[in-house]
Structure 1
Amino acid sequence: MSSTTIEAGTTSLLRFATAGSVDDGKSTLVGRLLHDSKAVLADQLEAVEHASRSRGAAAPDLALLTDGLRAEREQGITIDVAYRYFATPRRRFVLADTPGHVQYTRNMVTGASTAELAVVLVDARNGVVEQTRRHAAVAALLRVPHVVLAVNKMDLVDYAEPVFAAIAEEFGRYASSLGVPDVTAIPVSALAGDNVVEPSAHMDWYGGPTVLEHLETVPVVADPSGEPARFPVQYVIRPQTAEHPDYRGYAGQIASGVLRVGEQVTVLPSGRTSTVTAIDALGQAVDVAWAPQSVTVRLADDLDVSRGDLIAPAAAAPAPTQDVEATVCHVADRPLRPGDRVLLKHTTRTVKAIVKAVPSRLALDDLSQHADPGELAANDIGRVVLRTAEPLALDAYADSRRTGSFLLIDPADGTTLTAGMAGTSFGGRLGAP
């Protein structure tokens, strides 16, 4: 297999996240996208119309399609990450609608962590603001490969091309400094529907795609064969049947790359090597399997393999380590401090760890590093140094978003404390000392 991309015309899957400052019209944009692409069921639209009338609105407020929590509807803001699933004839979509408030930065990290594209909204009247820069920085930090700048409320600036051009140029410069590889700017009016699903009749000076057209055609990596194979073991299968008395299979989901029968592999963290003798997928024997398939792998040797171990090609296996340096987003309300004892969950492996140091905290508004902050509070992004009780086979997050990420968990009550990204390089100025 060779590395390819899925082009338009196929029913590929795109995961994308939306972000924007408060009152930039993000929920209205998402609602318009769902409504105009015929992804809203009749009963959903009826519920929105009823809620809109109860609030005195003359027309359906499409923002209510995503602001589903009662608190969100009452305040007119987005608080939680709202996931929506919809499809067009050209592509399937998983949408994570994330909050705009600065105190919910952690929610954006959650929504964008698996996204292949981020839609960042800007109010055409206000231009690029601090929260816009913050959202762009988070997208860069999480290695989101594609960013759409949606300049919204163009109807309130008379659809003026110079306004759009100035905002697009400023955002483009900032995104470039962050190392964002691909930015597409689109002028829209979510309220009126301009350039969301249908081209605008008011902006004939714009010749680019609509938001939906870009979402349908942006290239998505489809073949993971260019990445080294990573297979976290989730479960050991020993059926103990008369037909297969010696069957021992290792079940799990391939995190990246391709596994092949006959390939020499290393089991981590033990470092023992063996050869793949069989791969079972959906009850059938196959010669090749790739991410994100769930399979059962059988090895030639009777090794001590259990849940949490990682099977990788012998020639491209990561070196296990107990010393972890990472950039993290702290998501819990209680601070993270040096000396804290935590659990570190990486793929299917959970080990004890201690926070040795918090060297710096990142200010996302100007990307400056605050040395020795002493702690990380909720929504803070910073550097941490960890020591684990057992070795971990971590990749750098820049190389693999799946096997380079981890969670820190409170061992007392199981609360998720921190989302971590292993390694020190995050493109542009992010992560620089």
Structure 2
Amino acid sequence: MVISQDVWDQVKKNNEILHDVEMKELVTTRSSTVNTVVEAETSIASVGLMAASSIGGLAPSTTSDVVAEPFKSHTAQDEVSESRPHNPPKQTQLPVSQNNEQEDIPWQEFQKQQAYNPMIKDNFPLAMNARSAADLPPIPPWNKPPTPHVKEKTPLFIAFTRNWPLLQQTVVSWITSGWPAEDIYVIENTGTMRSNEFGRLSLQNPFFLNHTRLHMLGVNVIVTPTLYTFAQLQNFFLWTAIEKDFETYFWSHMDIIPITFEDKTFASNQYAGHKTIYQHAVEVLRSAQSPGPDPNASNASRPWAMRFFAFDYLTLVNRAAFESVGGFDTTIPFYHTDCDMYDRLIMAGYEMNEPRHLMTTVGDDFAGLDREGSGFIYDVANSIDDLIVLYRKKKTVEASFTDQNRPEDLEAARKLHEEQLEMEQQAKL
């Protein structure tokens, strides 16, 4: 199709007219904005003087607050900015009610409200002060992984996108439940490239990941080049297995807590008969790879593709099966691409089934399946306040957590913080 020259001339003319209109609107907007800013700064300066004056009557004489300077012209402010770095003075802002009037709140109460800030805290305080792996608690002796390592390769992939406390909790849970730390691979799927590796993000950033801590725990970290969807991430697992020559691999969620059954474990008989979740997973892997009949198979006449442990909270994958059907379909942009993948595996002649000795979550009903597994795998939404409890040490803190979605938990945490402040103040007297 050829467009005539008169059409191009009309398009060019329209563009010029549109450009002139945009420039006029831009000039008008900038002019009105400057006037508004000047008026706003004048008002802010006045309010700042009033607030500082009011605070002066409430605050102790040793206050470090600086009174806001009167309004200066833009020229004077620019000159100051060019001559020295900009360090804004600390200004105390009093709470404002819904009708935009200052509330008369006692100074001590105001300090308490400002002091409590429900910021994200690291849930492993002991590890924060550790300089090396030697400073970390030992793994419970009954849950230590086999030495030497089993003959099978048992890589465990755990993908991470956001929420460091949950991820750290999952990693520590797997380690203290018996999975060899060197077999765990945290796949950083934050889309921040090497920012976490260089320590450029803070704990308050949802994409923060502490590489140093993970290496101290003994696990591996692999960074994706960009933010992947679920299907792309699953294919990255497959690619990593191919690159590292893993014929099989496990993968798990980053928001779970595996707990090995330990109520019948005693030191008096050297933990005889105790089996960790890891040892159970190895048995399932051996059964799937053995030439004989697999008790976990749904159809022994078909080759196996996967073994599920408590849904897919822990999943064992046969790499060859995934490769044969082309991996996950990345054109499906939502989570249920796993359903598509599993259906394609079945149509391709593979079988998959939850292991007969299923490790299940509490309350789920798996009819016809033997529940005498080796542990629970909990799907969680919050983190334990102190992960030291996962090391089963005596004379330490009790297990607890604060649900950020429950107002009553936040209120309890606020009151506890106030009590701690009062105790500290009394100790100074």
TM-score of the superposed pair, with normalisation by structure 2: 0.21
The structure whose residues are more often helix, as a share, is 2
TM-score of the superposed pair, with normalisation by structure 1: 0.21
The structure whose residues are more often strand, as a share, is 1
